[in-house]
Amino acid sequence: MANYVQFYLNRGAVGGVQVVPAADIDRMETPTRTWEAQQGLKAGYGLSNYASIHDGFVYHGHNGGVNGGLTDMSYLPEYGVGYFYSINAGNGAAFGKIGDAIRAYITRSLQRQTVPAAGPLPADAQQYAGWYEPASPRNQSTYFLERLLGLRRVRFAGGRLLLTSLGQIDQPFVPVAGEQFRNLPKKGASEPIATAALLAPNAEGRFAFIGGTTHRIPTWLAFPQIALVAWFVLAFIAILLYAPFWIIGGFFKKRRRPQERSIRLWPLISVLSLLAFIGIFIASSSDMITRLGNLTIYSVALFLTTLVFAVASVAAALSLWKARNQPIRKFVRWFSIAVTSALLIATVYLLWWGVIGIRTWS
């Protein structure tokens, strides 16, 4: 692997022999087919070789992972240095710390690349302001989640593009050339190349490349999605927090309320089935292809938990309807209506995206 790193650093030569033309190495490092690359963005995926930025340096190379191992091969072509390392574990935190230490060592005496000067905002920048959702998922099977958690807002102020997404508010991007922007981290060195771009609009609307291709959606569509996700999360937490009180109360005769039992039990079963789904997914992660890609106890259990979630959510709604004329406390009734509605909406959404009854082995 050291020889392989040197192969790239020597621009296709090994032991003084030019194995491939230097121009071929340049081509491998240059993205050309993606939408943003065709608009001039240099950062991205070339031919099994992509750019990554760490502490103000632009590396080229490739990393990878299999069950039980992680690896990274990266190099700085302008400086003639690079590295390769591999660990026999799937510990991403340890892998990251090792990489940070190696990069700090090989760049300890190097001068960071020049950061391009800030330019003016594109003339049509304000036309790109608004809400965006991911438009090109790497894994279609998890897109139902990515499109919700990946919602982001773009606005322009002070000559910068400001990005707000889950976990960050107004992350600044500085215009550098044309429709391209470079990230301005709140900590660490500035990015020496552009990594974001406003993409040319087409019949489907406006798009931007910021950590991936995103599609602008109307504000009236973004706000309800955010509200529904927040509603479901609050309902999920509330059901779990409320459960110990009525379960413990059931042991005392004076606090037993049989007429409220089903409208409280079914939402809890629904939430517990979702927790089981998450737990099974995590338990399968160490050997996901084998455990979920075949008919196993893991894949069958995952399939069943989605069915239980849907059935329990519908049962909660039916129980609430049947109890409409029964003497139920006002708080319990309104609480049940709120959480059951959230569960039903989630069920319809997951059913639409094919998650309910998912058969990963097929």
Asked whether the predicted pLDDT for residue 66 surpasses 90, the reply is no
Asked if residue 120 is part of any domain, the answer here is no
Looking at 186, 217, 248, which one is the last position of a domain?
217
Global model pTM greater than 0.85: no
**Judgement on whether residues 237 and 339 belong to the same structural domain of the protein:** yes
> What pLDDT score does 187 carry?
74
Q: In the chain, pLDDT over 90 holds for what percent of residues?
A: 65
Read off the pLDDT of residues 226-248 as tens digits, 9 standing for 90 and up.
999 999 999 999 999 999 988 88
Closest CA to 206 of 263, 133, 314: 133
Average pLDDT value over all residues in the chain = 91
Report residue 189's pLDDT band, with 50, 70 and 90 as the boundaries.
Answer: confident
Average pLDDT over residues 121-147: 91
> What pLDDT score does 326 carry?
85
Residue with tokens 């065709």: 38
Asked if residue 151 is part of any domain, the answer here is yes
Report residue 255's pLDDT band, with 50, 70 and 90 as the boundaries.
Answer: low
Average pLDDT over residues 343-347: 96
Looking at 217, 247, 277, which one is the last position of a domain?
217
Domain that holds residue 149: 125-217
Backbone angles phi, psi at 186, to 5 degrees: -75, -20
Least confident of 93-107, 299-313, 326-340: 326-340
Average pLDDT over residues 43-64: 92
**Judgement on whether residues 177 and 239 belong to the same structural domain of the protein:** no
Q: Categorise residue 223: left if φ over 0, alpha if ψ from -120 to 50, beta otherwise.
A: alpha
Read off the pLDDT of residues 23-44 as tens digits, 9 standing for 90 and up.
999 999 999 988 888 888 888 8
Give me the amino acid identity at 190: S
**Judgement on whether residues 159 and 248 belong to the same structural domain of the protein:** no
Asked if residue 115 is part of any domain, the answer here is no
DSSP annotation string for 309-331? HHHHHHHHHHHHHHTTTS---HH
> What pLDDT score does 68 carry?
81
Euclidean distance between the first and final Cα of the chain, in Å? 37
> What pLDDT score does 178 carry?
84
Domains in the chain: how many in total?
A: 3
Asked whether the predicted pLDDT for residue 285 surpasses 80, the reply is no
Report residue 166's pLDDT band, with 50, 70 and 90 as the boundaries.
Answer: confident
Average pLDDT over residues 146-174: 92
> What pLDDT score does 288 carry?
79
**Judgement on whether residues 81 and 179 belong to the same structural domain of the protein:** no
Looking at 217, 251, 281, which one is the last position of a domain?
217
